[in-house]
A and B are shown apart, each in its own frame.
Chain A
Amino acid sequence: MNILVPYSWLKEHLSTKATPDQMAEALSLCSQSVDKINRVGNDAVFEIEITTNRPDCLSIYGIARELAAVLPRFNHQAQLKAMPELTTKIPVVKKSLPLKVTLQAPSLCPRFTALIFDQVKYRPSPKVIQGRLRKAGIRALNNIVDISNYLMLELGQPMHTFDYDKIKQARMIMRAAKPGEKVVTLDDQTRILSPGTIIIEDGDGRIVDLCGIMGGQNSAVDQTTRRVLLFIQSYDPRQIRRSCQQMACRTDAAQRFEKGVEPEGVMPAMKKAVVMFRTLCGAKVASRLTDIYPHPVQAKTVVVSTAKINQLLGIPIKIGEAQKTLNHLGFATKVSRQQISATVPYWRHDDINLPEDLIEEIARVYGYHNLPSVLPSGPLPLTITDPSFTWENQIKQALKYWGWTETVNYSLVSQQLIKQAGWQPDQCLKISNPLSLDWVWLRPSLLPSLTAAANQNQPDQVIRFFEMAHVYHPSESAGKAKLPEENLRLAGLINRPRFYQVKGVAEAILTEMGIKAEFRPLPGAKQAGQILINNQLIGTLGKTQDRMAFFDLDFSQLVKLASRQKQYHPAAKTPPVIEDLTFIVPPQTPLGELTKVVKAVDPLIKEVSLVDTFQNNFTFRLYYQAPQKNLSRRDVAKIRNKIILQVEKIFQAKLRS
């Protein structure tokens, strides 16, 4: 959460000569991060990002307290000023106006205080107050409401003011909302309350307050108000947070309450409010203080050893210096036997629990920027690298140098894409809270997104795209308590029907990975085939309906089957006899089968490769080679005749003479 902090307001609580820039530097390096300094007139306003663990910094006073601790480290003197209001006593009245309070759910409200003022004069606030509110981002309304906003900004304690005469029968019942209840809030909105929301009901059963979030319109202060009921509480942060989320309403007050407002901070705010009501509204206290606080927070003590401090910081720190730092931050400390025991100030009660928390305080004020940078020197872990990373990089690089371009597409795809691809929804994983209709399902295949990626471009350019990414399938176990399968796949696509290019790339990938595979027709598909290794399906390839060519490989499996092992064969001592044979084959003769048959004719055929095709003429280059002797023309002729016979018998193909 970001807050706006005027420099001039800070100076009311802090005596220092540090300039706004110097303050910003000290805060950013040692405390909370100053995002910006805005100049407003001759004042400077800091925009500060407050981390969730430091609600105590969500106030002018909180920031002044931090500055008092960190500025001296930058050689700027700084002293937090005492607030005289905090020593004033709340007047005890003889005749108190009545207020009957019932807490039905005390755990939701650890501390409940209320005080009634009479003779309140409704008017605009003085210019100084209005100016400060404006710089801090809140519009001034009237002196009564302004007091509550002013104190929320200054002390971090939200509070609310009711018109006392609008609380029927001077009775308040705090309880959790029931399903279906409604309230009209100060901003004129009718809000349907989510069950469990903390509310106040008056003696007539009307809901007068949406506690910690916003007041009810029916009890709001206006120019006729004479008697004000001031209301200062702390609430269960989780319930405030839940209600805000469910009702989509997050006010300044609620943002503070949901991060935690300490019950011990309630009374200082009450005391300063009493003073401000007197000076700004001419008001008099007209009731006894209601203060329901059944379980006062006990201050806690955390102990840390110097050994631990030095170990975590990496440099030795003098124990006295560490102690001084903690004292500056409001901790009461005792040192004994190289240990500091620190009593946590109430405003840090939730944040400080462990020795590490104290070390953070000591280290940040010392200045992380003052610590040296050292590479760790411990033993290196003995681990074996997952080979999939090396393969992934190697194959991606190969594809790049073969002219392919890598794309990265979202793992999340639309309902429409799921339908187009013909996937069964029960074989896919669905997002229960999608951000948009484009991202609803986790994709079980890469191809549809690759096609979409190719179609993003002008169709006149030849595109070769590939992607390597996980695909997702629900786990096959019967129960649902198993994570889905995430398989790494590699898919490639050319936006032209160039099947033999994609096949060639698939073959080259397999060769590079040392894998022998078989390409077979895919049953039921005319234009697609399957890639098998030991009869196990590891991929598909073919042409799509929109005349593109693709391959799609199970890369996780390929990595398991891959091998970098090579075998050395001494070169043959005899030269091969090389000749070309051209066959005229009938249409739809499977070339792969034909080649296999030719190769199997005789072990002296070392290699058969297709060198040319023309219509139904296929030209093969044959390498005949015997290990120990030179083959004669007669030897070759014998084998050749066997080939011609076989090919004719099996494929009805003829040698072209």
Chain B
Amino acid sequence: MDLNKIQNLKNQAISGILEVNSASELERLRIAYLGRRGELNELLKQLGQLPTNQRVEAGRQINDAKQAIEQTLQSQKNSLPDSSKINDWLDITAPGKKPALGHLHLISQTIEEIAHIFEKIGFQRVRYPEVEWDWYAFEGLNMPPEHPARDEWETFFIDNLHHPKLGRGVLTPHTSSGQLRQMEAQKPPLRMLNIAKCYRRQADASHAPMFYQFEGLLVDQNIAITHLKGVLAYFAKQYFGPNRQTRIRPFHFQFTEPSFEFDVTCIVCNGKGQIEGKRCPVCKQGWMELGGSGMVHPTVLKNGGIDPEKYTGFAWGWGVERLFMMKYGIDDIRLLFGGDLKFLEQF
């Protein structure tokens, strides 16, 4: 026996007693610790085995512990509810006490999912400015001022913000403004994933003035259209399920050549284009458009300090909201922003 044992026994007894909420259980503990054959008496019996010089101290500590346990028993007994009402019935059907559980926004959930899918094939997330110079948002992407292609990007401008070389300050209307930033920061091979807020001057059920895009950029030697198809099909199958079919179609962007629209078979009608003989309300002949993509334009590579003779690459920039709005059938993007708990609690 050593003195630690006495302290340990005391602490163990007290914490045990404090957790009890029935008189019968208290009585059981009293007998176990203080009873004639209780643990403390057992210790007292062993006192004789100790060297003389320790016996006094040990005896004193055992008494100490006894007093403390008795006090705790008494106070716990006093705090028990009327013992007559306590019984042993356990109602399994009564509701449990749930731990607190809040909600992550669908946008955050989807961003994590996207980041996770692309991380597996080497795409690294980055952060670039939301308030950006015209050069990065437009001109450096092969869209000079007054180019009609700019019509697609209804842009917000910032008051009193102008750079002598890089142009006006804008709220970036797409994540593509991260392309040149990435090329400036890193030499090929590069695999970037830029998920960020974007802003355009439009507001209706399918457009909010603020929304999220995810932009991928891969630049390396010998990158071909087949690779773009491979990466985007991989994503579509990971996100929407392995049975999705995908395709690319010709489109036009100033910063990619050639440019594509990327389609995936409709998740509502399963690519059939119709449901019970009627035209599917969400797709075009079985296909849903996910967004634009293309092979990085040689001018953009040059603007980013990369030799287009040596390297090629591809990029895409798609709406985050569009992905999950398709998946969950949400028909008004404006629901996503603000504090409508009835909406937020569903996810």
- The residues of A with any CB-CB pair to B shorter than 8 Å are 28-33, 35, 51-54, 237-238, 241-242, 258-259, 311-315, 354, 356-357, 359-360, 363-364, 368-369, 371-376, 378-381, 383, 385-386, 388-389, 393, 396-397, 399-412, 429-436, 439, 442, 450, 452-457, 461, 463-465, 469-470, 472, 480-481, 483-484, 486, 574-575, 577-578, 630, 632-633
CA of A269 to CA of B298 in the docked complex: distance in angstroms?
A: 36
26 contacts between A and B (CB under 8 A): A51-B251, A52-B148, A52-B149, A259-B148, A368-B247, A371-B226, A373-B226, A375-B227, A376-B230, A379-B220, A381-B189, A389-B115, A400-B104, A403-B99, A403-B101, A408-B105, A408-B336, A409-B338, A410-B210, A412-B209, A433-B156, A442-B171, A453-B338, A463-B339, A464-B102, A575-B7
Closest to B201 in A: A435
Residues of chain A within 8 A (CB-CB) of B102 are 399-406, 464
CB distance from B146 to the nearest CB of A (A): 5
CB distance from A237 to the nearest CB of B (A): 7
Residues of chain A within 8 A (CB-CB) of B90 are none
CA of A542 to CA of B202 in the docked complex: distance in angstroms?
A: 37
CA of A456 to CA of B339 in the docked complex: distance in angstroms?
A: 6
Q: Are A484 and B101 closer than 8 Å at their CB atoms?
A: no
CA of A53 to CA of B294 in the docked complex: distance in angstroms?
A: 15
Partner of A481, one of B130, B158, B164, B233: B164
* Interface 9-mer from B33-41, B44-52, B119-127: B119-127
Asked whether any CB of chain A lies closer than 8 Å to the CB of B183, the reply is no
If A375-B234, A577-B7, A630-B3 touch, whether A356 touches B345 (CB-CB below 8 Å) is no
Partner of B339, one of A51, A376, A452: A452
Residues of chain A within 8 A (CB-CB) of B248 are 368-369
If A376-B220, A575-B7, A575-B8 touch, whether A368 touches B250 (CB-CB below 8 Å) is yes
Q: How many A-B pairs fall under 8 Å by CB? A: 265
Residues of chain A within 8 A (CB-CB) of B7 are 574-575, 577, 630
CA of A455 to CA of B338 in the docked complex: distance in angstroms?
A: 10
Asked whether any CB of chain A lies closer than 8 Å to the CB of B55, the reply is no
Q: Are B339 and A465 closer than 8 Å at their CB atoms?
A: yes
Range for the number of chain B residues in contact with chain A: 35 or more
Partner of A314, one of B115, B146, B226: B226
Asked whether any CB of chain A lies closer than 8 Å to the CB of B340, the reply is yes
Q: Are A407 and B122 closer than 8 Å at their CB atoms?
A: no
Closest to A426 in B: B160
If A258-B148, A381-B186, A405-B102 touch, whether A375 touches B231 (CB-CB below 8 Å) is yes
CA of A442 to CA of B210 in the docked complex: distance in angstroms?
A: 12
Closest to B149 in A: A52
Closest to B308 in A: A356
CB distance from A459 to the nearest CB of B (A): 12
CB distance from B168 to the nearest CB of A (A): 9
Q: Binary interface profile of B, 220-238, with partner A (CB < 8 Å = 1, else 0)?
A: 1111111101110110000
Asked whether any CB of chain A lies closer than 8 Å to the CB of B139, the reply is no
Q: Binary interface profile of B, 124-143, with partner A (CB < 8 Å = 1, else 0)?
A: 11110111110000000000
Partner of B161, one of A373, A457, A461, A480: A480
Residues of chain B within 8 A (CB-CB) of A242 are 146
Asked whether any CB of chain A lies closer than 8 Å to the CB of B64, the reply is yes
Q: Are B4 and A429 closer than 8 Å at their CB atoms?
A: no
Partner of A371, one of B101, B225, B340, B345: B225
If A409-B337, A433-B156, A457-B340 touch, whether A373 touches B101 (CB-CB below 8 Å) is no
Known pairs A241-B146, A314-B226 / 5 extra A-B pairs, C-beta < 8 Å: A359-B258, A380-B122, A396-B108, A401-B101, A630-B4
If A360-B258, A435-B202 touch, whether A633 touches B250 (CB-CB below 8 Å) is no
CA of A647 to CA of B337 in the docked complex: distance in angstroms?
A: 51
CB distance from B271 to the nearest CB of A (A): 14
Closest to B163 in A: A481
Closest to A393 in B: B112
Q: Are A368 and B260 closer than 8 Å at their CB atoms?
A: yes
Residues of chain A within 8 A (CB-CB) of B103 are 400, 405-406
CB distance from B265 to the nearest CB of A (A): 13
Asked whether any CB of chain A lies closer than 8 Å to the CB of B11, the reply is yes
Asked whether any CB of chain A lies closer than 8 Å to the CB of B249, the reply is yes
Residues of chain B within 8 A (CB-CB) of A456 are 338-341
CB distance from B189 to the nearest CB of A (A): 5
Residues of chain A within 8 A (CB-CB) of B249 are 28-29, 33, 368-369
CA of A558 to CA of B115 in the docked complex: distance in angstroms?
A: 22
